[in-house]
A and B are shown apart, each in its own frame.
Chain A
């Protein structure tokens, strides 16, 4: 069964890059553009991994993470923070809430895959069969 990954970021650009990074793997991507949407999608889709931004409108990533960890049905889902903010207070607060890993923007797709691979099993998609020569 495909690994389900939820990308929560208000930037469509980042969601696209995250989706592109997982494209070679047998993954199903789901998206949300803020923490409130992210919680709703997480409850509905029960993803295997959440990639979460910090600064977002409506509900930020720290609030979403707090609520996620308070929810018995969702708290076991591993979360990787993907943010441009690496200030001491931010990192300490997020670590205390129980985040699996932390990746600072700008990032390389390989770095994200490496960190995600420590949380969930990533299986390369089978190569498309080559059509036999006519």
Chain B
């Protein structure tokens, strides 16, 4: 069967422009969740085929466990039944977001950022830089990016090609953190829109924060991600209420 004209045309443009693509399992999962009437068994099959997605789903379903031995929810199906299909959407959003953040560090900082379990990193204490971007539409939520002021300065310096001492005030750091938030969020927004979950991004809000609480949309969920590159620790939270309309 021939793909619809728009999809063929997009594939041709993506090839011409050299655009990257979202992993197949993530696109399929997003499309299934977007349908709302998707069968749990279908979702289970897609998640089980991707070890990364399965591991993250089980982590989300066992929020108090420090390691796999402490999991009380042990299968993908049980995790989906316990947390609801909405949490599959958070998984689908987290993957392009993580890939974009890792790629940004690699491309713009020549730095290898590694995704780690949130338990493996010490929590931030005191004032830290927080970037947030809201998205509204058929799915609504926020993405938060947090790092210490020192880490944010190092990242800003790397991206701007200067030394941390040459970085100006908080405004310069804020602009870099805002752009990082934009890049991460833009990548996963594309995946959501392609699956029919149209949404628009709001401008990033960045500033020093001492607030560690993350508001969750009514009826929504949260996924927490953590990354490390040497002394730089990056925390990301995604909150979303699927099927917002």
Contacts and interface: CB of A to CB of B under 8 A. Distances in A.
A20 B161 contact: yes
A11 B160 contact: no
Contacts of B7: 88
B189 A85 contact: yes
B103 interface: yes
B160 A13 contact: yes
A8 to B, nearest CB: 14
Contact of A90 (B9, B108, B159, B190): B190
Contacts, number: 92
Interface in A73-120: 83-92, 95, 101-108, 111
Given A14-B179, A106-B107, A84 B160 contact: no
Interface in A46-63: 55, 57
A40 interface: no
B108 A106 contact: yes
Contacts of A105: 104, 179, 182-183, 186
Nearest to B19: A86
Nearest to B20: A104
Interface of A is mostly: mixed
A89 B193 contact: yes
B175 interface: yes
Nearest to B160: A16
A87 B175 contact: no
A104 B182 contact: no
Q: Which of A10, A14, A55, A95 has the most CB of B within 10 A?
A: A55
B186 A13 contact: no
B50 interface: no
A38 to B, nearest CB: 16
A125 interface: no
Nearest to A11: B179
B178 A11 contact: yes
A11 B175 contact: yes
B33 to A, nearest CB: 16
B100 interface: yes
Nearest to B191: A87
Contacts of A17: 108, 159-160
B132 interface: no
Interface of A: 10-14, 16-17, 20, 55, 57, 83-92, 95, 101-108, 111
Interface of B: 6-7, 9-10, 13-14, 17-20, 100, 103-104, 107-108, 156, 159-161, 172, 175-176, 178-179, 182-187, 189-191, 193-194, 201, 203
